Amino acid sequence: MATREELSEFLAGVERRAFKQAVFAVRDESHALDIVQDAMMKIAEHYGDRPAAELPLLFTRILQNATHDFFRRSKVRSTWVTLFSALNPDAEPDADPLETLEASGDTRTESTETSYEREQIVAIIEEEVAKLPARQREAFLLRYWEDFDTAEAAAAMGCSEGSVKTHCSRATHALAKALRERGITL
Amino acid sequence: MNQDEFGFRVRQALNDGAERLDYRTVLRLEQARRQALGRQRRAGPATVRLPALQLATAGAPPIDSGGGAWGWLRGAGLVAPLLALAVGFVAISHWQEELEIQRLAALDFAVLLDEGPLEAYADQGFGVLLQAEQRADR
C-alpha cells in the first residue's frame, strides 16, 4: 500500500508533466490545472491504498479520463451556448468560435519571440506536440516522456502494443517534419 | 537519427518546459497535491464500533474505544448520569429527613407552649375529647 509520503512523492514527480500533457490536450492552462487537480483527487480518494508501483499507470488512466470528461462537458456546454446564442438577436450571426482560439495561439507566439532561444525552441516543440492527433500524442508522450514501455503504454491507452508502436512512429515522423519546417533540427 | 534518439531529445525539451512553469501554476499544483493527500484513502484492519453502553463479551469483535481524550469523554458520558442520579437520591433523602425533623420540632414546640399539662396528651380520653370537639365545631 502506498504511504502518504510515497503518494506525495509520486504526485510531486508527475504533476508538472501531467499539467503539460493536459495543456497539450485542452490548450488552456486554467482548464489543464483543473484536470490535473481532479485526477490527483481521484487517485488519492479511490486508489490511495494501492501499491506505489501501480500509481503511474493508474494516474495516467485517470488523467486521460479527466481530459476526456473535460471534452465531453465542453461539448455539452457549447451545445447550450450555441442554442442560447441562436436565441439572442444581438449575437453576431457570422461569429467564428475559432477566432478566439487563434488569438490565444498568437499571444503564445508573441511571448516566445521575446524569450531566449532555448525557450523559443521548447515552446515550438510543445506547440507541435500539442498539434499531434490525440492518440499519437498520448502514445508518444507515454513512451518517451513517461518512460512507459510498449506494454504499459498499451495498457494505459487501452489498445494493442502494435497500435502503440504505430502511433509512436507516426507521431515521431509528423513531429520531425513539423519541426524541420520551422527550422528546428534536433 | 533513430526514433528513440529523437524521442529522447524531445523529452529533454519537454522536461525543460515543465521546469519553467510559472510561479502561480507551480503553487496551484502544490495546493492541489496537498488537498489530494488530505483525502488519501487508507486501507487497514476494519474496526467495529459499538455503542458505549454495549459491552464486549468474550469472543466478541474488538471494540474501537476511540482512545485518547475522546474515549475518556465517552466514559465520562456514561458515568456522569449515574453519579447525578445518586447525588439526587441522597439530596432528596436529606431533604425529607429535614422536613421530618422540622415537623417534630414544631410539634414539640406546640406541646410545650400549650397550657394543658403534658400528661393530658398521653391520656386516651383527652384525645377522644379533642376529636369530639373538632367534630362539633364543623
At residue B125, the pLDDT reads 81
Domain ranges of chain A: 1-95, 97-186
3-state secondary structure of A57: helix
A71 vs A89, more confident: A71
Specify the residue for cell string 474501537: B64
B49 interfaces chain A, CB cutoff of 8 Å: no
What is d(CA A171, CA A133) in angstroms, rounded to the nearest whole number? Answer: 8
3-state secondary structure of B63: strand
Does A176 score more than 70 pLDDT?
A: yes
A48 interfaces chain B, CB cutoff of 8 Å: yes
Of the candidates A11, A17, A20, the beta carbon closest to that of B36 is on A11
A140 interfaces chain B, CB cutoff of 8 Å: yes
Nearest residue in B to A46, CA atom: B41
A125 interfaces chain B, CB cutoff of 8 Å: yes
B53 interfaces chain A, CB cutoff of 8 Å: no
Instruction: Report the mean per-residue pLDDT for chain A.
Output: 82
Q: What is the pLDDT along chain B (138 residues), one digit of tens a residue?
A: 688 889 899 999 999 889 888 889 999 999 999 999 988 877 655 444 555 554 444 444 444 444 556 667 777 787 888 999 999 999 999 999 889 888 888 877 777 677 777 677 777 787 788 888 888 887
One-character DSSP codes across A73-93: HHHHHHHHHHHHHHH-TTS-T
What is d(CA A123, CA A117) in angstroms, rounded to the nearest whole number? Answer: 10
Whole-model pTM over 0.80: no
pLDDT, tens digit (0-9, with 9 covering 90-100), for A109-153: 445 455 577 888 888 999 999 999 999 999 999 999 988 999 999
CATH T-level topology, domain A1-95: Rna Polymerase Sigma Factor; Chain: A (1.10.1740)
Same fold: A1-95 with A97-186: no
A52 interfaces chain B, CB cutoff of 8 Å: no
Give chain A positions within 8 Å (CB) of B43.
1, 49
Give chain A positions within 8 Å (CB) of B39.
41, 44-45, 48
Q: How would CATH label the architecture of A97-186? A: Orthogonal Bundle (1.10)
Chain A to chain B, count of Cβ pairs less than 8 Å apart? 112
Strand partners, B15: none
